[in-house]
């Protein structure tokens, strides 16, 4: 079956959407004053080799809110899956189109994996001397993607579809740069990267 690039992108974004939502939620939730008390660092302020393990930017509030938001998106996706698939078939006149199935378990693993990948990147950045907010091209844009796909693979190896993975790896840096710049313009982030 010859699938056009637009459909491949739609299918890839549909699959990775819980991870995208999980990744963008913590920065938005950090602005909610009522949740400030839950903003304790995951590394409990501890250092390793004289350097913070993760830093103040990785909080329990961010972890729980990101996983919850991504999982809720997955629940919504699983509920509307047939309607969206039917809509795509109607507008494309292609009855063979189908979106990847989403489940709450998969959305949870994608979300948890995304935030785990982000924590691994934070750990690496601290070890290399980069400070919170310092840019690390590609690492900043793809850390959560690798984590999400790895955790999805842990759930079921069939989720590691190489074509989908390739599409996500190609489009994510562009999406990430755009959303970070918008967050910076809206004063949600201190830096545009």
Q: In the 3-class helix/strand/coil scheme, how is 56-117 assigned residue by residue?
A: CCCEHHHHHHHHHHHHHHHHHHHHHHHHHHHHHHHHHCCCCCCCCCCCHHHHHHHHHHHHHH
| Whether 65 contacts 25, CB under 8 Å | yes
More confident residue, 73 or 45: 73
Q: How confident is the model at residue 55 (pLDDT cuts 50, 70, 90)?
A: confident
User: In which domain, by residue range, is 109 found?
Assistant: 5-185
Q: For the whole prediction, is pTM greater than 0.85?
A: yes
pLDDT in tens, 115-164: 999 999 999 998 888 887 777 878 888 999 999 999 999 999 988 899 99
| Whether 70 contacts 114, CB under 8 Å | yes
* Structural domain contains residue 193: no
* Structural domain contains residue 73: yes
As a whole number, the mean pLDDT across the chain is 90
* Structural domain contains residue 191: no
* Structural domain contains residue 190: no
The span from the first CA to the last CA of the chain, in angstroms, equals 38
pLDDT score for 153: 96
Q: Provide φ and ψ at 5, rounded to 5°.
A: -65, -35
Q: How confident is the model at residue 1 (pLDDT cuts 50, 70, 90)?
A: very low
Domain tally, the chain: 1
Closest alpha carbon to 106 in 167, 22, 18? 18
* Structural domain contains residue 192: no
* Structural domain contains residue 89: yes
* Structural domain contains residue 167: yes
- In angstroms, the CA 157 to CA 138 distance is 25
* Structural domain contains residue 145: yes
């Amino acid at each position: 079956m010859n699938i056009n690039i637009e459909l491949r992108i739609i299918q890839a974004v549909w699959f990775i959407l819980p991870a995208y939502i999980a990744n963008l939620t913590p920065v938005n939730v950090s602005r909610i004053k009522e949740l400030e008390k839950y903003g304790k660092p995951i590394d409990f302020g501890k250092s390793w080799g004289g350097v913070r393990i993760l830093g103040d930017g990785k909080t329990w509030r961010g972890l729980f809110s990101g996983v919850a938001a991504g999982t809720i998106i997955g629940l919504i996706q699983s509920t509307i899956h047939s309607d969206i698939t039917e809509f795509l078939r109607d507008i494309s006149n292609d009855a063979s189109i189908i979106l990847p199935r989403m489940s709450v378990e998969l959305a949870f693993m994608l979300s948890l994996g995304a935030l785990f990948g982000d924590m691994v990147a934070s750990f690496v950045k601290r070890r290399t001397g980069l400070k919170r907010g310092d840019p690390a091209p590609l690492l900043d844009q793809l850390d959560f993607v690798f984590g999400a796909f790895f955790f999805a693979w842990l759930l079921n190896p069939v989720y590691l579809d190489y074509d989908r993975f390739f599409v996500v790896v190609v489009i994510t840096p562009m999406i990430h740069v755009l959303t970070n710049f918008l967050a910076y313009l809206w004063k949600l982030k201190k830096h545009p990267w």
